[in-house]
Amino acid sequence: MRRRDFRLLWAGESVSQFGSAATRVLLPLIAVDTLDAGPLTMGVLNAAAWVPWLLFGLPVGAWTDRMRRRPVMIVCNAVSALLMLSLTATVWLEVLTTSQLMLVAVLSGTADVFFRAAYSAYLPTLLPHEELADGNARLQTSESVAEVVAPGAGGALAQAGGAAVGFLADGLSFLVSAALLLRIRTPEGPPGGEERAPAERSLAKEIREGVAFLVRDPFLRTILLCDAAMNLFLAGAQSLSILFLSRTVGAPGALIGVLIALAGLGGVLGAVVSPRLTRRFGTARAVLLCAFCGGPFGLLIPLTTDGVGLLAFLVGEFCLMTGVVAGNVIIVSFRQAYCPPDMLGRVGSTIRFVMYGTIPVGSLLGGALGTLLGERDALWLLYGGNALCALLLLTGPLRAGQDLPTVPEPAGKGDGITP
């Protein structure tokens, strides 16, 4: 792809994702090994990063539709860098506490809310509609590669006592991303379109418009219902997975990082094959294929034991990630081409409000189930629930044809599916 400004965005996000992927392993490992966190504490820690989506998810979408998105993204990266550098300092000084981990999780989660709202709506500024699927696949591939390489480094650092270096690298990665965003030259159009000045619009009205657009549309509504339910169960499983591998299975931190890295190759595969799936089966059928084929593999994960039994975790997580990432690339590309440009921020944030808002609930659910039943039995329930969520896609129009529509159909004009 020869578009210079997209390459800058892609490079910045790739660097940032590498740092963040390492931190996602470092934080829970430090909580378990250094701060002796239990299942409930791990659930609360995982929930803390996602609570801001419940608090700010809806108004942020309307707010970013009033603003130019690139400056918002730059500020968010700078804030995230400062937060990671604060962890570096407290680890070096040996004064890190669980409370600080949770505070940083909440604040960095808040920055992520603003960044994601602006980022999702900004990509169509740099790419025409026909290149969005390819652009999203490239961005998702970079994220998945980061999930492969960075967790192994994060686990090794935690094992060697070098968590401060990992947090420092993450902080610097945010600064690199901000610097690359500053070099983008493509001008943004007027915030929120040209029809009205931002000051003349009601924030509450804009939020209602975004919610109403989503609720009325059967495609967006059905996909969101399925994704939110999957996020609920997978968040619960994620809050327990490192604790399960560390304490129940007995795997050391470095090996846990390697396992997560290898399983992350499934995400790389999903991002790479998603355009081929859409060409071979059509967008609607590809979404159904990813959901129904990926979810059941999660049921291998509770079978994990030490030694050769670790293959159950590896195969289950690999195949699950392949389906999740491939489906996400298809769905995000569909939404960016399908929604009107002046609604992208609001609709996107409403979707993320619902999807990510289920994650803290799922994390707390996972922590509670892990405390009551033990990690292994809790994972059986959580991965079983995730596998059943694919059935929700059959309640809407996706089952009726091959491709998802490219523009919303007027009321009463049919379901818009291409046969």
CB 137 within 8 A of CB 12: no
- Work out the pLDDT band at 154, boundaries 50, 70, 90: low
Q: Which pLDDT value is given to residue 50?
A: 79
- Range with top average pLDDT, 129-138, 199-208, 396-405: 396-405
Which token pair is 179? Answer: 């610097």
Task: Work out the burial of residue 253: count CB atoms within 10 Å of its CB; fewer than 13 is exposed, 13-18 middle, 19 or more buried.
Answer: buried
Any alpha helices (H) in 295-343, and if so which ranges?
A: 310-338
Give the pLDDT of residue 419.
45
Answer with the residue of higher pLDDT: 244 or 193.
Answer: 244
Higher pLDDT, 96 or 198: 96
User: What is the pTM for the complete model shown?
Assistant: 0.72
Q: How many CB atoms lie within 10 A of CB 35?
A: 13
d(Cα 164, Cα 98) in Å, to the nearest integer?
15
Q: Across all residues in the chain, what is the average pLDDT?
A: 83
Closest residue by Cα to residue 186 from 136, 127, 139: 127
Tokens read off for 197: 């000045």
Type and span of the H or E element at 178: helix 163-182
Which residue, among 169, 118, 152, has the nearest Cα to 346 in the 3D structure? 118
Instruction: Quote the pLDDT of residue 412.
Output: 46
Look at residue 415 in the predicted model and tell me its pLDDT.
Answer: 47
In terms of CATH architecture, what is 4-188+203-400?
A: Up-down Bundle (1.20)
The three-state secondary structure class of 403 is strand
Does residue 169 register a pLDDT over 90? no
Neighbour count for residue 22 (Cβ, 10 Å)? 30
Per-residue model confidence (pLDDT) at position 385: 96
Tell me the C-alpha to C-alpha distance, in Å, between residue 246 and each of 43, 230, 309, 345: 15, 25, 14, 40
- In this prediction, residue 194 has a pLDDT band, given cuts at 50, 70 and 90, of very low
